[in-house]
């Protein structure tokens, strides 16, 4: 009896194993629905949709092949572009700092200052800058955090950082966008490109070689920073709003495109802003005063914005004050 039971069990196990290794032939119905799916896939470029009766028509999509391309972009292309842009810029700045050193005021400061930016301009600059820095860091965490931060701080801390980072990323987009509008209104007049900018570029902006090219309130390099901030920041903000309000004004393809535009422009802007932050602080003696007290040394101003100083002095002969 025992031997019979054992033989039966072995026979059953053999049948199951057979069923697992050799797939059963498709029935006619299976065969025709597989063919129908294949036909749909070919006709719609691989996209497969069903029919549903619930209001959310997005749920009818079963397979959306562009999603795979988008995932490859997010996991590979973006990480590469972002990594090369940010690390590359940091390396360039380090090379520049160690080869050229800090750009000094020739012969030292004069002790006489002139008003460069008023309180509204400075407050707005710092609002845009602080929002940008938090938006940038929390954004970089979305791309690199899982690979860089998670192994360092562990899952609990990483979850908390990412959750608060995401809240900050969503809510700070509003003061950032408002700051861009105010910045545009305050500074657009002084940032219209003109012929003098070509000469400024030809002379390497005074960074390379000797002599400082004549410049108005903003030199050509600063005009580039201004337009990167306004146009780049504007496009990053606009594409970000498509992502904060999913499917409100676009479909899945639009969401994927918005994400690609948003993330690529953002990493390129972060790299560009690293150069701006360097020149505005460590890289150039006297520059940070313009955005802290608002008063810059007259010698600094004459070196970097000679035409603007002439104009200001002409407006108010007592415009420059002794400190």
Contacting positions for ligand HEM (CB under 6 A): 116, 125, 128-129, 132, 218, 222, 225-226, 229, 233, 273, 276-277, 280-281, 287-288, 290-291
Please report how close the Cβ of residue 288 comes to ligand HEM at its closest, in angstroms.
5
CB 118, min distance to ligand HEM, A: 12
Place of tokens 């460069």: 116
Minimum distance from residue 78 beta carbon to ligand HEM (Å) = 20
Write down the least CB distance from residue 142 to ligand HEM, Å: 18
Q: Which residue number, 256 or 263, has a Cβ lying nearer to ligand HEM?
A: 263
Tell the smallest beta-carbon distance from residue 281 to ligand HEM (Å).
Answer: 4
Q: Which is nearer to ligand HEM, 78 or 301 (CB)?
A: 301
Q: How far is the CB of 141 from ligand HEM (least distance, A)?
A: 17
Minimum separation from the CB atom of position 226 to ligand HEM (A): 4
Looking at the Cβ atoms of 225 and 264, the one nearer to ligand HEM is 225
- Residue in the shown chain whose Cβ atom is closest to ligand HEM: 280
Nearer to ligand HEM, 158 or 187 (CB): 187
292: Cβ contacts below 8 Å, ≥ 6 apart:
122
The dihedral over CA atoms of 259, 241, 83, 85, expressed in degrees to the nearest 10, equals 110
168 or 291: whose CB is closer to ligand HEM? Answer: 291
Q: Which is nearer to ligand HEM, 150 or 291 (CB)?
A: 291
Residue 116 or 169: which CB sits closer to ligand HEM?
Answer: 116
């Amino acid at each position: 009896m025992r031997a019979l039971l054992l033989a039966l069990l072995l026979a059953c196990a053999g049948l199951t194993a057979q069923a697992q290794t050799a797939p059963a032939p498709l029935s006619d119905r299976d065969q025709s629905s597989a063919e129908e799916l294949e036909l749909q896939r070919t006709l719609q470029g691989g996209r497969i949709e069903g029919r549903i009766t619930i209001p959310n028509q997005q749920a009818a999509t079963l397979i959306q092949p562009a999603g795979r391309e988008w995932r490859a972009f997010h996991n590979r292309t973006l990480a590469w572009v972002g990594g090369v842009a940010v690390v590359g810029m940091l390396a360039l700045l380090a090379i520049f700092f160690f080869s050229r050193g800090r750009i000094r005021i020739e012969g030292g400061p004069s002790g006489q200052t002139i008003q460069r930016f008023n309180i509204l301009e400075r407050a707005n600059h710092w609002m845009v800058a602080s929002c940008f820095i938090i938006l940038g860091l929390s954004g970089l965490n979305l791309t690199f955090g899982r690979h860089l931060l998670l192994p360092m701080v562990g899952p609990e801390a990483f979850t908390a950082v990412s959750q608060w980072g995401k809240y900050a990323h969503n809510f700070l987009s509003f003061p950032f966008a408002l700051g861009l509008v105010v910045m545009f209104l305050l500074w657009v007049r002084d940032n219209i490109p003109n012929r003098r900018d070509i000469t400024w570029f030809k002379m390497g902006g005074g960074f390379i070689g000797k002599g400082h090219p004549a410049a108005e309130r903003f030199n050509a390099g600063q005009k580039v920073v201004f337009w990167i901030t306004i146009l780049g920041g504007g496009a990053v903000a606009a594409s970000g709003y498509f992502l904060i309000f999913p499917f409100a004004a676009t479909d899945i393809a639009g969401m994927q495109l918005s994400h690609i535009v948003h993330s690529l422009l953002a990493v390129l802007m972060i790299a560009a802003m690293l150069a701006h932050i360097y020149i505005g602080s460590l890289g150039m003696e006297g520059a940070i005063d313009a955005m802290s007290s608002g008063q810059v040394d007259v010698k600094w101003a004459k070196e970097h914005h000679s035409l603007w100083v002439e104009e200001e002095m002409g407006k108010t002969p007592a415009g420059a004050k002794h400190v």
